[in-house]
């Protein structure tokens, strides 16, 4: 494919360094000439998604002249004369947040408008952002610097809280990059482990898991505090129902903490021992990734000749206030050859029944068509009405 050719250009509006409008005379690939093609020139700019060592995303809640209300925004600014895009990104991060970053990833440069030009946005992901000085931003808008978890950023992205398309794009590109490169995500292959025998204090919950987990732990830790009991290990959750099969209001779960052998339950808190079991495990980070993590485990189990054998357990590795990070333990048993053949036989039987049902359906349909056709035939002469 041939590109358009610029035959000439002239400036029709020059409004300081921030805006220039030109009129171009262009020739199309088929030879036609357009004498007054508008072309807009604004400075190229950078946007930066910065992440702290604690996996918090730095962004702003701010106002913009063209936007009603407020918007979330990444770090950004215009490239100054003589600056490279990376130098500008590093300067903007330091000025707007007071931070420097240990690692810089170039996510690419993209045109704002493919036909009018306008500018190119240069996108960067900055990891290990840490404060080294006070902020020195000179932005005209009111703004608030936020530190969001990944789950909060994903939710804000889905809700359209980043109200500029370029900001939506850089946030989405950053999350995609992190998913493809992070070794703490669920794309790590599952592995087989043994879950150790564990004595736990627990409360039972019924309802949507995203509500049951915080509510259950709040009840449990209130009881622990009232009885001056300290957990002996990491908190965990046991989930007895599949949310894809059971209505959310009926989902059963237990919020647990390991406790010493002499601890006894009382009131709404019970104590039990989780027996040792063999499990397939995987680590996930960010609540939005949990479904994919479970799918990865169960797909892997089937491929390896195992099946699930009980309620999965999530062991929470993160601390309060950090982005959620947990290890899933799915109890498993090896599927023997006899069971495999039984499943295969059942599958063939189901297929046979399906074919039989289809045959009966065609037979009924044929009979129905025949009946309708007979009903449409005109009555013979002399027939009684």
In this predicted model, what pLDDT tens digit does every residue of 166-214 receive, in sequence order? 999 999 999 998 877 654 444 457 889 999 999 999 999 999 998 999 9
Residues 163 and 57 in one domain: yes
Residues 139 and 222 in one domain: no
Residues 232 and 108 in one domain: no
Residues 286 and 314 in one domain: yes
For position 90, which CATH number holds? 3.90.79.10
Q: Of 132, 163, 181, which one is at a domain's C-terminal end?
A: 181
CB atoms within 10 A of CB 21: 15
| 354 part of a folded domain | no
User: What confidence tier does 376 reach under pLDDT thresholds 50, 70, 90?
Assistant: very low
Alpha-carbon gap, residue 179 to 183, rounded angstroms = 9
Residues 226 and 131 in one domain: no
Domain count, the chain: 3
User: What confidence tier does 29 reach under pLDDT thresholds 50, 70, 90?
Assistant: very high
The domain containing residue 26 runs over which residues?
A: 5-41
Which H or E run includes 36? strand 33-41
pTM to 2 decimal places: 0.52
pLDDT, residue 77, reads 94
Residues 204 and 297 in one domain: yes
Residues 156 and 208 in one domain: no
Residues 196 and 322 in one domain: yes
User: What confidence tier does 139 reach under pLDDT thresholds 50, 70, 90?
Assistant: low
| 376 part of a folded domain | no
Residues 131 and 155 in one domain: yes
In this predicted model, what pLDDT tens digit does every residue of 152-176 receive, in sequence order? 999 999 999 999 999 999 999 999 9
pLDDT, residue 140, reads 63
| 346 part of a folded domain | no
pLDDT, residue 160, reads 94
For position 210, which CATH number holds? 3.20.80.10
Note the helical H segments in the chain.
Answer: 85-97, 150-159, 165-181, 209-226, 290-304, 337-376
């Amino acid at each position: 494919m041939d590109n358009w050719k610029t035959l000439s250009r002239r400036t029709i509006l020059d409004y300081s360094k921030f805006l220039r409008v030109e009129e171009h005379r262009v020739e199309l690939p088929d030879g036609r000439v357009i004498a007054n093609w508008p072309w807009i020139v604004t400075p190229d700019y950078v946007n930066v998604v910065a992440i702290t060592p604690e996996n918090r995303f730095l962004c702003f809640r701010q106002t913009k002249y063209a936007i009603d209300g407020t918007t979330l925004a990444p770090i950004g600014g215009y490239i100054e004369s003589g600056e490279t895009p990376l130098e500008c990104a590093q300067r903007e991060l330091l000025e707007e947040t007071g931070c420097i970053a240990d690692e810089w990833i170039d996510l690419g440069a993209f045109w704002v408008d493919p036909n009018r030009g306008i500018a190119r946005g240069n996108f960067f992901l900055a990891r290990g952002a840490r404060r080294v000085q006070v902020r020195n931003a000179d932005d005209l808008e009111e703004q608030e610097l936020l530190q969001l978890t990944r789950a909060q950023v994903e939710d804000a992205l889905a809700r359209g809280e980043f109200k500029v398309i370029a900001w939506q794009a850089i946030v989405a590109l950053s999350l995609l990059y992190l998913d493809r490169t992070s070794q703490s995500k669920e794309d790590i292959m599952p592995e087989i482990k043994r879950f150790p025998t564990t004595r736990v204090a627990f409360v039972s919950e019924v309802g949507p898991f995203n509500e049951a987990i915080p509510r259950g732990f709040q009840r449990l830790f209130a009881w622990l505090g009232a009885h001056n009991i300290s957990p002996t290990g990491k908190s965990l959750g046991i989930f007895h129902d599949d949310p894809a099969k059971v209505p959310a209001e009926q989902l059963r779960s237990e919020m647990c903490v390991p406790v010493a052998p002499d601890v006894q339950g009382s009131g709404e808190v019970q104590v039990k021992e989780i027996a040792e079991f063999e499990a397939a495990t995987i680590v996930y980070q960010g609540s939005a990734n949990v479904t994919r993590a479970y799918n990865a485990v169960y797909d892997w189990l089937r491929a390896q000749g195992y099946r699930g054998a009980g309620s999965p357990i999530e062991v929470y590795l993160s601390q309060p206030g950090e982005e959620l990070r947990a290890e899933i333990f799915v109890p498993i048993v090896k599927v023997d050859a006899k069971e495999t053949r039984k499943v295969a036989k059942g599958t063939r039987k189901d297929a046979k029944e399906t074919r039989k049902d289809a045959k009966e359906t065609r037979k009924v349909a044929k009979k129905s068509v025949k009946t309708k056709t007979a009903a449409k035939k005109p009555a013979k002469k002399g027939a009684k009405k």
